Amino acid sequence: MSYNVENLFDATDDGVYQEDLAFLPLSLKRKWKTDPCKGINGYFGRMCRDLDWTQIKYEERLERLSNVMLSYKDEGADIIFLHEIENETVMLDLWKGYLKAYGYKKPFHFESPSHRGIDVGVISRLPLAENPIAHEVDLKDMGSSTRDIIEVTYRIKKGKRLKVAGNHWPSQASGTEARLRASEIVRDIAYEAIDQDMSFVAVGDFNTLLKEVPNPISDYLADNDLYDLEYPLVDLQNYLQGFSTFPYDGSHFYQGHWDPLDRILVSKDILRESGDFKLVNDSFDVFYLDDMITDIDPDTGKRMPYEFPFRYGFFTEKGYSDHLPLVVEFAY
C-alpha cells in the first residue's frame, strides 16, 4: 500500500525543528511574543494562527488513518509506505498505538531536508534483508529541498528478496527539473536491483502529470516493452490501462480532475513472470472505504457534480486525506 496521508503532524512543539507552526495547540500559540505567521495569507495563514491542533485530535486522526490501512484485506498490506509524515514520532505513535498488534515491525523514517518537515515513512511485517537507505534528491543549486527517496530491501521466504523504494517527488510548483533529478535516483536503484537479480517496486506520490514534457516517468523510467531495459520499469496504471475496479484516472483530485500523481512502478521481470515475484491478477487498484469519497464540498456544504477524496478538515476534524491509497499484490 502507498498512501499520502496529507500533513500528518503530531501536536508537539519541536522547537527549531518545528517547520510548520500551524500544527500546534492554541495554548502554545498564545504564548508567542511575536507573530511567526506574519506574511502567511489566506487559508494557510488562518491555519497558522487559529488552528488548535491538540493531542486528542492528533490521536483521533491516527486512529482513523490506521483503520483505513487495516481495512485492506481485513488485516492490512504487508508493506505500507506513508507520505507527508512529520517525523519519526508520528510513525512510532501509529505503530505502537494501532499497528503493532497486527504483526507490523518497528517502522522506518529518515528526517529529510524537506523545508516543511513532511517525509516518507515505511512500516512492514516483513524482515529486512539489509538496512534501509535514504537517498537525498539534491536541489541545493535550485535553492530548494525535498523529501528523500527511501530504499528498503526485504527478505521473503526461501531466500527471496524484494527491493522497494518509497517516493514523494517535488511538487508541480518545483518545476520538471526537480522531478527529473528524483527520477534519476529511482532509475539507478532499479538498475542496481536488476544487477542483483532482484525484483523492484517503486511506489509513492510522484507529483508527475501525464502531460508533463519531458516526462520524468515515461521519458526516463517506464515503458510497456517488457524486454527492453533502456527503461527499467513499467507504470502499472499505464500498462494495465487503469485500475481493477476504481473508475477514475487517478487517486488524487485537483481542480475538477482525477490525476495519477500516485503511481506503482515495477521491474519488468514481475510482468514477464521470469523472476521471483508475479503480479496477482486484478490486484492493482485504488483502495477506499465508502466514506473516503464524497461529492459534498467541505467548505460550502454544497453538493458538487463530481466525486473526490474526502480530505481531512483540520477545523472540522472530518475526512481522511486528499489522496486515496494505491494497492497491489504479488505472488511468489
Calpha distance 73→27 (Å, rounded): 41
Chain centroid offset of residue 37 CA: 27
Please state, in angstroms and rounded to a whole number, the distance separating the CA atoms of residues 35 and 29: 9
Long-range contacts of 25-31 (CB under 8 A, 24+ apart): 25/52, 25/53, 25/54, 25/55, 26/50, 26/51, 26/52
Q: What is the pLDDT of residue 120?
A: 97
Residue 16 has pLDDT above 90, yes or no: no
pLDDT of residue 116: 77
Cell of 249: 484516472
3-state secondary structure 143-154: CCCCCCEEEEEE
| Cβ(181)–Cβ(138) below 8 Å | yes
C-alpha cell, 198: 532482484
Q: What pLDDT, in 10s, does the model give residues 285-331?
A: 999 999 999 999 877 889 999 999 999 999 999 999 999 999 999 99
Please give the average per-residue pLDDT across 215-224, as a whole number: 98
Span 62-67, average pLDDT: 98
Euclidean distance between CA atoms 217 and 180, whole angstroms: 8
Q: Is 254 helix (H, G, I), strand (E, B) or coil?
A: strand
* Number of alpha carbons in the 13 Å side-chain half-sphere of residue 99: 29
Give CA–CA dist 299/274, Å, rounded: 50
Instruction: Give tens-digit pLDDT for 144-200.
Output: 999 999 999 999 988 899 999 999 999 999 999 999 999 999 999 999 999 999 999
pLDDT, position 298: 79
Distance from C-alpha of 65 to C-alpha of 204, rounded to nearest angstrom: 17
pTM (predicted TM-score): 0.97
Mean pLDDT computed over 128-156: 97
- pLDDT at position 103 is 98
Grid coordinates of 325: 491509497
* Tens-place pLDDT, residues 74-108: 999 999 999 999 999 999 999 999 999 999 999 99
Q: Give residue-wise pLDDT tens across range 230-239.
A: 999 999 999 9
Q: Report the candidate in 55, 49, 103 with the shortest Cα–Cα distance to residue 77.
A: 103
Name which of 242, 245, 246, 216 is nearest 231 in CA terms: 216
Q: Are strands 257-259 and 262-267 parallel, antiparallel or unpaired?
A: unpaired
Confidence of residue 268 (pLDDT cuts 50, 70, 90): very high
Please report how many Cα atoms fall inside a 13 Å half-sphere around the Cα of residue 67, on the Cβ side: 12
Third-level CATH fold of 2-6+57-331:
Deoxyribonuclease I; Chain A (3.60.10)
Q: Where along the chain do its domains lie?
A: 2-6+57-331, 7-50
Say what the pLDDT of residue 91 is: 98
pLDDT of 253 reads: 95
| 298 vs 41: which has the higher pLDDT | 41
Q: Which pLDDT band holds residue 69 (cuts at 50, 70, 90)?
A: very high
Asked if the model's pLDDT at residue 14 lies above 90, the reply is: no
CA nearest neighbour of 23 among 64, 55, 60, 65 = 55
State residue 255's pLDDT score. Answer: 87
Q: Quick one: what percent of the chain has pLDDT higher than 90? A: 90
Residue 2 pLDDT grade (very low, low, confident, very high; cuts 50, 70, 90):
very high
Q: In this model, does residue 17 exceed pLDDT 80?
A: no
Helix (H, G, I), strand (E, B) or coil at 195: helix
| pLDDT for position 301 | 84
